[in-house]
Amino acid sequence: MTLVSWILVIAFCFGMTVTTDSCLPSLGTPQTVINYGEARGTPDDVVLSILDQYLPSTGINTNSDIAKDRLSTYINGCVDGEDENDPLAEVIVVQKLLQETITRVNTQLVVASDPQGLGFIETECRSQRVRPFLENLTVLNQNFAEVNTAILQGYEALACPRVHALYTDVVYDAFCTDFATANANGLILLFVISFSGMVLITLRASWRSTQ
């Protein structure tokens, strides 16, 4: 038990090193000061420095550039709320196009579904399949409307401010606060257990030698 406790103490020491290096301001000049002109001393600096080191910008819109832009958006959020900084801007463009299509089809269905208009179409087309076709088209348009609603709900759930909030909750609250506190408390507790275990082992050996 004492041996396992000492092994866990070493592991928690590594955890303390990682959280301290990632969450506390550095004494030197971080790389992000050179790149972004601001010495914030936050976990964002660590992540941005890693991105600069392992995902260098090439300027030709490669996969590494796209990945870096998306990860930077998670960290910094959307700058001034501009669409070009929003990773879901393409989704809202598709949603607007779908909404325009649904509106246009609805307008045509209203005209075609009118009794006089429907009779005129059946007369001109000389077919009795016009009515089932319009009914199926109405059902299809309703399905597209549900898809459009789902796109809007998905965009609201994954909008850029909320994405940035998710990063803040995970890094600042979970990693730098909860995990760091639990790691420090575990280190102290396991150190006390390990030291007490060594004292008990030493005293037991001394007692048996006197016997």
pLDDT tens for 142-176 read 888 888 888 888 777 677 777 777 788 888 888 88
Characterize 92-125 residue by residue with b for buried, 16 or more Cβ atoms within 10 angstroms of its Cβ, and e for exposed: eeebeeeeeebeebeeeeeebeeeeeeeebeeee
pTM: 0.49
List the chain domain ranges: 1-86+161-211, 89-157
What is the C-alpha to C-alpha distance for residues 11 and 8, in angstroms, rounded to an integer? 5
pLDDT tens for 29-82 read 444 444 444 445 577 777 777 777 777 666 665 677 777 777 777 777 765 445
80: left (phi over 0), alpha (psi -120 to 50) or beta: left
